[in-house]
Amino acid sequence: MTTFDTLLKIRRSKGAGLFILLDPDDNSPEELAARAAECETAGVDALLMGGSLLLRDGFDEAVKAVKKACKIPVIIFPGGPGQLSGEADAVLFLSLISGRNAQRLIGDQIVAAPAVKQLGLEAIPTGYMLISSGSPTAVEFISDTRPIPRHKPGLAAATALAGQYLGLKLIYLEAGSGADQSVPVELISTVRQWVDLPIIVGGGIRTPDEAAEKVRAGADFIVIGTALEDPRAAQEIGSFCQVVQDAAIHKK
């Protein structure tokens, strides 16, 4: 079974799932491994690894440590074509379809494609869409693109639908790491009405109740990162898992 098939199974059986984003810049491989084990025990469905910047070496070592520490899928969420590792189960092969920067639409993908094939990584074609969050984010600055206005759900839906027709397998609605405001529920629900693809929503989601709102609006997978970076917040992981499952049942 491919990693993408596993994600579809989670969506089908549970209604929604929770991903935790681990940033190798913030922790050592040993700390990341411990975090991964905590996440698996709490009921997290998959781990994403990557970041807008990588300021330290050892990405491959970090992914290897995380993969060794857990059995749930470990998926690369790359901030650039250099963030790859054959130790992962898959990579979100991102195309920034909300922007007009050709480098982020297809240029980086051309650079990364041979390495993905040589590493034997499963590539999951993903339409990556930045949604305005109230203030500029790192991913907006790095990608040199303007986000879709948060009060334009129709524009977001049309963009996502174009991604579906282009053959992408996932839609990722992103407000940005540490965003002031997360992706609005109205925008999520409008995109859900127009596309059949699994929808991932991340950025600025700080509480379990906020995660539940996104699921009820139509999100299939919630990504939590900054809200759980403090190791003392480990107990909150279980709360996020529970409310996502409860909201998914309500959504059904």
Model confidence pLDDT, tens digit, residues 181-206: 999 999 999 999 999 999 999 999 99
Beta partners for residue 22, in sequence order: 49
**Does residue 239 register a pLDDT over 80?**
yes
- Band the pLDDT of 56: cuts 50, 70, 90: low
| Rounded (5°) CA angle 143-170-18 | 95
User: Where residue 52 falls among pLDDT bands split at 50, 70, 90?
Assistant: low
The pTM score is 0.95
Confidence of residue 138 (pLDDT cuts 50, 70, 90): confident
In the chain, the amino acid numbered 151 is H
pLDDT of residue 55 exceeding 60: no
Model pLDDT, residue 137: 86
pLDDT of residue 234 exceeding 70, the answer is: no
Q: Is it the case that residue 86 has pLDDT exceeding 90?
A: yes
- Write down the pLDDT at residue 162: 98
The answer as to CATH 3.40.190.10 being correct for domain 3-251 is: no
* Domain-wise residue ranges, the chain: 3-251
Long-range contacts of 32-35 (CB under 8 A, 24+ apart): 32/62, 32/65, 32/66, 33/65, 33/66, 33/68, 33/69, 34/69, 35/66, 35/231, 35/234
